[in-house]
Structures are given as C-alpha cells and as structure tokens.
C-alpha cells in the first residue's frame, strides 16, 4: 500500500510539472506574440523538428560533431532553410542562429548591453578556467579586460626573440626527420604547431617554457612534472569542450580524470603566481632556465596591478588557451591549404625570400615589415575566412530585445528575442556566403583580398567591445612561423588522401586529420 501511494504521488508530481510547463509555455507564447506585435517584429523561418522537444536536432548536432562535420552541417542547415537567420527549439528552449553581418553587429555593438556570454559558458569552463575574461560579464568582465589589455601593446609585438627561440626548437625537432635526399617523407605538422605555441605561450606568460618540443628528442628531457602538465592541459581542455556540448546541463559531465587534470594545471600556475606575488618570479625563472633577465613576463606585469592569486591564475589560463590553441589551429589551416596548392606556396615563398631573405641569412622580421607583406596578409586572411578558429559563438539575451533583420517573408523585418533566448552567430557560415564572397566562396583564393575592404562580413576575431585583444599578437606570431618554415623548406606536398575536410571542435576549431605532408629542405 505504501509503495502504491508513493507511485501515485510521484506520478502526480510529474504530471503537475508537465502541466506547469505547458501553461508556462502557452503564457510565454501569448506574451511574446503581443510584445512582438508592439515592436512591429515578425517571425523568422523555423527549423521544424520531427521528434518531441527537438531531440532529433540535438542528435543531428552530436552526430555531425562525432563525424567531424559540425561546421559543414551548420552551413547545410542554413542552406536548406534558404535564409541567414532562423529560429529552432531544443529541449523546450528557444534559440536563434544568424549568419547576417547586420544582426551580428547588432548583437556585438548596438545592443551589446542586452546580451551576455551567459552562465552556461561560465559553468562549463569553470573547473579549469574559473572566472576570467572569457567567462564573465558586466563589471567583472570589464575589470578582466582592463587588467589584460595593456599587456598587448605594440612594443610587446616588436620583440621576436621569443618566437625565434622556439622556432629553433621546432627546427631541432624536425631536423632528424630529413633524409639524405632532403625530404621529410611524411609528417603531421599539427602537433609541432601546438607544441610550439604551448612553449612560447608559457614562456611569455610565466617566464619559463614547458619546452614540449624537445621532450621526445634524444639527449633532451622536459622533466616528469612538465610532461604531466602537457598531458593534463590537453586532457582538461577536452573535458571542458565535452561539457560545452551538454549546453545547459553541462554539470552532467564531471569526471575524476577531468578534476585531476585541472588540479595539475592549477598547481603549475599557482607556483608561478606565488613567485610573482613574492616578487621572486624573475629571479627564479632566470636561475632555472638561464633566460633573459630583461625578458617581458606577462604574469609579472599583471601582479603589479592585481594581488588576488585566484584572479591571476584564472586570467593567465584564459590567456594561455587563447595564445596556444587558436594560433596553432590557424597555422594548421594555413599549411593544410598551401600544401594542397603548391603554386601559391611557391608564390608566397618567393615573396618571403625577397622581403625577408633566406633561412640562414634572414633580414629583419619586424612588426612593420610583416604588416607590409601584402600576400602573406592575404594568405592569413583567407585561411581565417575559410576556417575561423571560433566558427560559432553565442550570446544570451538578458532582457527582451530584437534583431533588426531576418523576420517576415523577405527577411527584412525585425525579430523579437525574448529574455533568456540564446542567439548563436556563425562566422563560419557568414564567411562562406556566396552572395558576399562570390560563387567561389568555398575555394582557397588569397588573391580575393587584393584591394578588398571588409566590414562585419569578416569577423575572425569577434567584434565590438569584446573583440579579441590578442589578435595582432596571434597574427604576428603566426606570420613569423610561416616565414621561417617557408625559408627552411622549399617544397611541400599534401599526403592527405581525403578531399573532405574534417573539423576537430574543441575550444578552438582545428583540422581533425592533422596536416600530413612531405617537405623538402631548401
């Protein structure tokens, strides 16, 4: 009898909750429709679901991600609906997607105060990154940005000694692979790019590099603790990326492996934070690694303005993910594209040799000269257009608001965005719109940038108040690496038999199959 009563009570609770949801949604729909009429808004196209609660849409997204086709599936959704902004629902929640530069500009600038990055990003990122520049809103975000932004001034971009040190380590790692005929028969360049950016980023941030590039070389050792750090950083990132896929129920993914990996990363950062707050950081890093005593160390600069050890740690880790993964992913896409286009590789290499000299007799590679190298800039732009490192981003409406375009039959009417709705904007889809970029928008064609002036239709580094403050730093570092590799290697050939590009969607967008090539030493 007790069991029967408990079952009846449980069923009553469930039924009551379902009724509550139905009433709430009906009331919200009536209210939203009335508000939309007052604002002269019209509905955008709606992506219809075959299964209740949009389960089929969610499963389609997960399958596309599992098959490394998430960005291309997103593009197909837009094309199938024949529009640039649409509404969809998943698990009862209302969402919008847009690839309209006018709407994206509206979200990121004109109505910046109406949108937040939201609690879902903070919650999913929190175990590794905590509260920092990428996970907070309002005054807390402004404080983070004010703390970090001064560290990316032009004088910091002018010193290329840091990159050269780690380029030489990369070449040291590549040299044993060069055969007597001058060829590296087969190599995946992507891990080398990730190791390079990890090494340079940790030295820039902490004053000491993890030297991951040298770890597998005979006669070199990075030590057990550094080796554990490299593994832990990758493990924790993968876990955070998985939590992101769970959206509002990110908390369902919480493993012991993730927590242990995050702890190792935190302990590494905390060690240097303690040294910086005790004003012993420079002395300790110079004594341990024999580094330049006048070298710029970002943590030291931050510690002059901030004494909170947790805040210092979180901002450093936010900067580390931006400095490591995005640049490495971009380098992978550049060489993936050039390896499949040997004529353009030779064209760029000829310009580099003319402007910057040979590998052994290199002219000055300054920030000013990099900006003046137009074709190198076109190659970077084109790789970022086709393969932006953040192909999809999101903002949460913190109040009832609107988007200016996408509603009605012609798509020119405003759209009402109720409070709590998520607006996703896809730079990947926008960058491949044939009405903006011409019918060859899917092709790698750096020449399209000659004489071209762009606005919000090209957005590889976000825009508005939250525009990436490290974009020039990233482009300068990537350009430097491109120059040094192309000086060193005269020819490159793609060994990837798969014409289908596959995407690895972590915290940045990298190429899933790697950059498998053969290379000939110059």
Cα 102 from Cα 412, distance rounded (Å): 11
Strands in 516-521's sheet, in edge-to-edge order, are 183-188, 516-521, 489-494
The pLDDT of residue 294: 63
The pLDDT of residue 521: 96
Tokens standing for residue 170: 């990369």
At 92 the three-state DSSP class reads coil
| Whole-number Cα distances in Å, 413 to 31, 66, 210, 408, 439 | 19, 36, 53, 6, 27
Q: Tell me, rounded to whole angstroms, the distance of Cα 520 from its chain centroid.
A: 31
Please, which residues have CB within 8 angstroms of residue 405's CB and are 6 or more apart in sequence?
84, 85, 100, 102, 103, 411, 412, 413, 414, 415
Max CA distance (Å), the chain: 90
What CATH architecture is 40-521?
Answer: Orthogonal Bundle (1.10)
Other Cβ atoms closer than 10 A to 65 = 17
Q: Where are the domains of the chain?
A: 40-521
DSSP string, 7-42: HHHHHHHHHHHHHHHHHHHHHHHHHHHHHHHHTT--
Establish whether 41 is an annotated binding residue. Answer: no
Cα 145 from Cα 470, distance rounded (Å): 11
Dihedral of the alpha carbons of 123, 226, 320, 290, in degrees to the nearest 10:
150
The pLDDT of residue 401: 98
Cα 314 from Cα 522, distance rounded (Å): 43
Q: Which residue has the tokens 């069991």?
A: 3
Q: Which helix (H) or strand (E) holds 335?
A: helix 327-339
Burial code of 119-129, b = ≥16 C-beta within 10 A, e = fewer? ebbbbbbbbbb
pLDDT tens, per residue, the chain with 522 residues? 555 555 565 566 666 656 666 676 676 778 888 889 999 999 999 999 888 888 899 889 889 999 999 999 999 999 999 999 999 998 878 899 999 999 999 999 999 999 999 999 999 999 999 999 999 999 999 999 999 988 787 666 666 788 899 999 999 999 999 999 999 999 999 999 999 999 999 998 888 888 888 876 655 555 566 778 888 998 999 899 888 888 788 898 999 999 999 999 999 999 999 988 887 666 655 555 555 556 778 888 888 888 999 999 999 999 998 889 999 999 999 999 999 999 999 999 999 999 999 999 999 898 889 999 999 999 999 999 999 999 999 999 999 999 999 999 999 999 999 999 999 999 999 999 999 999 999 999 999 999 999 999 999 999 999 999 999 999 999 999 999 999 999 999 999 988 899 999 888 999 999 999 999 999
Tokens standing for residue 476: 């300068």
User: How are beta strands 503-505 and 509-511 bridged, if at all?
Assistant: antiparallel
| Residue 516 bridge partners (DSSP) | 188
8 A C-beta contact, residue 422 and residue 394: yes
The pLDDT of residue 252: 87
Closest by CA to 339, choosing from 329, 327, 349, is 349
Cα 336 from Cα 493, distance rounded (Å): 10
Please, which residues have CB within 8 angstroms of residue 204's CB and are 6 or more apart in sequence?
162, 296, 297, 298, 323
3-state SS of 175-237?
HHHCCCCCEEEEEECHHHHHHHHHHHHHHHHHCCCCCHHHCCCCCCCCHHHHHHHHHHHHHHH
């Amino acid at each position: 009898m007790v069991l029967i009563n408990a079952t009846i009570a449980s069923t009553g609770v469930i039924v009551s909750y379902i009724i509550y949801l139905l009433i709430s949604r009906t009331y919200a729909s009536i209210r939203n429709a009335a508000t939309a009429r007052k604002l002269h808004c019209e509905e955008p196209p709606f992506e219809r679901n075959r299964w209740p609660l949009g389960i089929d849409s969610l499963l389609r997204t997960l399958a596309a991600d599992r098959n490394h086709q998430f960005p291309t599936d997103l593009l197909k959704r837009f094309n199938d609906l024949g529009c640039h902004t649409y509404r969809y629902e998943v698990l009862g929640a209302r969402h919008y997607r847009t690839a309209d530069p006018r709407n994206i500009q509206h979200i990121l600038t004109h109505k910046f105060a109406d949108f937040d990055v939201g609690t879902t990003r903070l919650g999913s990122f929190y175990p590794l990154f905590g509260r920092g520049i990428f996970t907070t809103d309002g005054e807390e975000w402004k404080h983070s940005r004010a703390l970090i932004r001064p560290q990316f001034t032009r004088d910091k971009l002018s010193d290329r000694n840091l990159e050269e040190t780690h380029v030489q380590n990369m070449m040291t790692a590549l040299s044993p692979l060069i055969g007597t005929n001058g060829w590296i028969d087969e190599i995946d360049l992507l891990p080398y790019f990730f190791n390079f950016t990890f090494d340079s980023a940790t030295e820039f941030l902490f004053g000491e590099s993890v030297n991951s590039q040298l770890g597998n070389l005979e006669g070199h050792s990075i030590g057990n603790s550094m080796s554990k750090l490299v593994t832990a950083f990758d493990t924790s990132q993968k876990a955070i990326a998985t939590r992101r896929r769970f959206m509002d129920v990110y908390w369902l993914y919480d493993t012991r492996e993730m927590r242990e990996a995050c702890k190792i990363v935190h302990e590494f950062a905390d060690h240097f934070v303690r040294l910086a707050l005790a004003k012993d950081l420079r002395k300790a890093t110079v004594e341990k690694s024999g580094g330049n005593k006048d070298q710029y160390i970002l943590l030291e600069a931050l510690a002059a303005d901030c004494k909170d050890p947790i805040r210092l740690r979180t901002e450093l880790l936010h900067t580390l993910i931006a400095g490591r993964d995005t640049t490495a992913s971009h380098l992978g896409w550049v060489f993936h594209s050039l390896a499949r286009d040997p004529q353009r590789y030779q064209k760029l290499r000829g310009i580099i040799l003319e402007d910057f000299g040979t590998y052994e007799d290199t002219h000055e590679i300054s920030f000013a000269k990099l900006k003046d190298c137009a074709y190198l800039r076109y190659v970077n732009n084109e790789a970022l257009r086709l393969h932006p490192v953040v192909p999809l981003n999101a903002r949460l409406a913190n109040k009832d608001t609107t988007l200016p375009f996408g509603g009605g039959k012609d798509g020119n009417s405003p759209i009402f965005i109720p409070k709590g709705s998520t607006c996703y904007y896809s730079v990947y889809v926008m960058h491949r719109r044939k009405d903006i970029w011409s019918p060859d928008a899917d092709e790698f064609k750096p020449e399209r940038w000659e004489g071209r002036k762009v606005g919000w239709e090209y957005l590889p580094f976000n825009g508005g108040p939250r525009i990436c403050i490290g974009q020039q730093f990233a482009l300068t570092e990537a350009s430097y690496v491109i120059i040094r590799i192309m000086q060193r290697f005269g020819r490159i050939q793609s060994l990837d038999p798969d014409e289908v590009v596959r995407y690895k969607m972590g915290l940045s967008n990298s190429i899933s199959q790697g950059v498998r090539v053969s290379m000939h030493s110059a």
